[in-house]
């Protein structure tokens, strides 16, 4: 099992493609999320200043769409996780943050669990499932509503929720994927996560 430190150490900014989204967290850290076809990568750009880089498109639009997977289980991007009106409207009580470099915005208002992982095909996402699923089930048993989010709400958090349906409801990968995609249509786990989910047998 790879540790997060090994994942970070093995990640090179030289692998970045030009079509990227620069994300600024609530603490001012700048992250570059790069998608090229099915490949998805992330790098910390805080030290770079960002202005010299050519070809980057800054995404200023907020993604406040929240997918309802189950009455107690929601899926979104960091934007929704940082929007108090959206959280109140969805009756969120717990948040599972599986992003890299995204702070928990309202620690005094919600019960948080942070499980930091990188959106890289080689990340062993299955190894993170037990602690994620335990948190989701605890919240459910308490009558709570859990919002699972990463940076974009596309790969990491979607993979955790797909894995949860496979684990908890004994769904096939195809059933779980369809259920999550129906709730949040633009999910797209990276190829490594897709392969791990297809072979996941809890």
The SS3 of residue 1 is coil
pLDDT in tens, the chain (202 residues): 555 655 555 554 444 444 455 555 555 556 666 655 545 556 655 444 444 443 444 456 788 999 999 999 999 999 999 999 999 999 999 999 999 999 999 999 999 999 999 999 999 999 999 999 999 999 999 999 999 999 999 999 999 999 999 999 999 999 999 999 999 999 999 999 999 999 999 9
Helix, strand or coil, per DSSP, at residue 110: coil
In a domain, 26, yes or no: no
Does any domain span residue 58? no
Let me know if residue 192 belongs to a domain. yes
Count up the domains in the chain and report the number: 1
In a domain, residue 47? The reply is no
Q: Does the reported pTM lie above 0.75?
A: no
Q: What are phi and psi of 55, to 5 degrees?
A: 85, 0
Q: Alpha-carbon distance 51 to 111, whole Å? A: 37
150 catalytic? Reply is: yes
CATH number at residue 73: 3.90.190.10
Question: What is the number of residues in the chain?
Answer: 202
- Tell me which DSSP letter residue 26 carries: T
The Cα angle at residue 64 between residues 74 and 71, in degrees rounded to 5? 20
Residue pair 81/94 in contact (Cβ under 8 Å)? The answer is no
**Which one is catalytic: 54, 90, 132, 150?**
150
Please choose, from the candidates 136, 143, 67, 69, the residue with its C-alpha nearest in 3D space to the C-alpha of residue 98: 136
The CA distances from residue 110 to 90, 93, 106, 107, 131, in Å, are 13, 5, 6, 6, 18
91 domain residue, yes or no: yes
On whether residue 84 sits in a domain, the answer given is yes
Quick count: other Cβ atoms within 10 Å of Cβ 24? 14
Query: Is 2 within a domain?
Result: no
Residue 18 maps to a domain:
no
Expressed as residue numbers, the domain containing 160 is 67-198
């Amino acid at each position: 099992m790879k540790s997060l430190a090994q994942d970070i150490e093995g990640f090179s900014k030289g692998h970045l493609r030009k079509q990227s989204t620069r994300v600024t967290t609530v603490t001012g850290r700048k992250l570059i999320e790069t998608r090229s076809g099915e490949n998805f990568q992330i790098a910390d750009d805080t030290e770079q200043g960002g202005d010299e880089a050519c070809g980057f498109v800054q995404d200023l639009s907020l993604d406040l769409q929240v997918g309802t997977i189950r009455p107690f289980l929601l899926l979104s991007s960091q934007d929704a996780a940082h929007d108090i009106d959206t959280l109140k409207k969805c009756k969120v009580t717990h948040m599972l943050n599986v992003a890299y470099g995204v702070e928990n915005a309202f620690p005094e208002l919600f019960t948080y669990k942070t499980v930091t992982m990188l959106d890289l095909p080689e990340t062993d996402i299955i190894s993170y499932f037990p602690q994620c699923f335990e948190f989701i089930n605890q919240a459910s048993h308490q009558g709570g509503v859990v919002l699972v989010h990463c940076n974009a709400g596309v790969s990491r958090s979607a993979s955790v929720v797909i894995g949860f349906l496979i684990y908890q409801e004994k769904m096939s990968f195809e059933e779980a994927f369809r259920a999550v995609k129906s709730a949040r249509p633009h999910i797209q786990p990276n190829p490594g996560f897709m392969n791990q989910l297809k072979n996941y047998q809890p």
